[in-house]
A = this chain, B = another copy of it.
Amino acid sequence: MTTTLRVRGLRLWRGDRQILAGIDLDAAPGEVVALMGLSGSGKTTVLRILAGLERADAGEIQVPKAGMVFQFHYLFEHLTALENVCLAPVHVQRQTRAQAQARAEALLGELGVGHRAHALPRELSGGEAQRVAIARALAVDPPLLLLDEPTASLDPARRNDLGDVLKALAASGRTLLLTSHDDDFVRDFASRVVILAGGRVVEQGDPHQVLEHAQHEETRELLQVERQRKLGR
């Protein structure tokens, strides 16, 4: 198995709080790895370090060029949805404008926001903006794609559409690393789940296995109330 992503002993402090206390993580082409953990457990931080937006205080990282979808989309405010998606293909990949535009329109359509292509970010609904941001990341087609809570603002229908898109991408040899609070989504679309707690990876493996029969205290805590609720129903 060719490892695209290899992380060993990632550590990070913020002031005197240790956010990451030694994270080990691997991901190979074809995998959809889901990072789960309590809010504030450092999921976003891990993705940002992998994307090169932040520096770890310690640790080894081996990472290919990565694309990223941010938790708060960060669309370019002065450009329309379509222009947002076309920017990198035209200026980084040197595609012709027509070529880039055609692909962008296809992507936006696939994610169900084709009809908002000419809207500015501030004119989009939360879920629309989220999907435009996903389209923007997909347009450059990076070998590793980092998605931070891509399902947060999506309704169940859109969420499954996105799941299908991601699965297809993985099947074509990309590596996907995403964070999510949605255990249903993770169960349905991730090939592996990684549970983060106390700045460490406490458990990982097949989503069904991990989420239904959590071995670790922390995993149970994360899902506990949820499970109690499900049981009590």
Q: Using CB atoms and an 8 Å cutoff, list the residues of chain A in contact with chain B.
A: 14, 36-40, 44, 71-72, 112-113, 116, 123, 125-128, 130-131, 148-149, 152-161, 181-184, 188, 221-226, 229
Q: Do the beta carbons of A225 and B157 come within 8 Å of each other?
A: yes
5 pairs across A/B with beta carbons < 8 Å? Answer: A149-B152, A155-B222, A156-B225, A159-B226, A160-B226
Is chain A's binding surface mostly helix, strand, loop or mixed?
A: helix
Q: A157 vs B195: C-alpha distance in the bound complex, in angstroms?
A: 14
Contacting residues, chain B, for A131 (C-beta < 8 A): 39
Q: A158 vs B152: C-alpha distance in the bound complex, in angstroms?
A: 14
Contacting residues, chain B, for A125 (C-beta < 8 A): 39-40, 44
Distance in Å from the Cβ of A192 to the closest Cβ of chain B?
A: 18
Most chain B beta-carbon neighbours within 10 Å: one of A36, A153, A188, A223:
A153
Q: Do the beta carbons of A128 and B40 come within 8 Å of each other?
A: yes
Contacting residues, chain B, for A130 (C-beta < 8 A): 39
Contacting residues, chain B, for A149 (C-beta < 8 A): 126, 152-153
Contact A38/B71 with A160-B225, A160-B229 known, Cβ cut-off 8 Å? no
Contacting residues, chain B, for A126 (C-beta < 8 A): 39, 44, 71-72, 148-149, 152
Q: A152 vs B72: C-alpha distance in the bound complex, in angstroms?
A: 11
Contacting residues, chain B, for A123 (C-beta < 8 A): 14
Q: Do the beta carbons of B181 and A156 come within 8 Å of each other?
A: yes
Contacting residues, chain B, for A44 (C-beta < 8 A): 125-126
Q: Do the beta carbons of A156 and B127 come within 8 Å of each other?
A: no
- Contact among B36, B116, B155 with A38 in the assembled complex (CB-CB below 8 Å): B155
Distance in Å from the Cβ of A97 to the closest Cβ of chain B?
A: 25
Q: Do the beta carbons of B128 and A154 come within 8 Å of each other?
A: no
Q: Do the beta carbons of A39 and B222 come within 8 Å of each other?
A: no
Q: Do the beta carbons of A154 and B181 come within 8 Å of each other?
A: yes
Contacting residues, chain B, for A156 (C-beta < 8 A): 181, 183, 222-223, 225-226
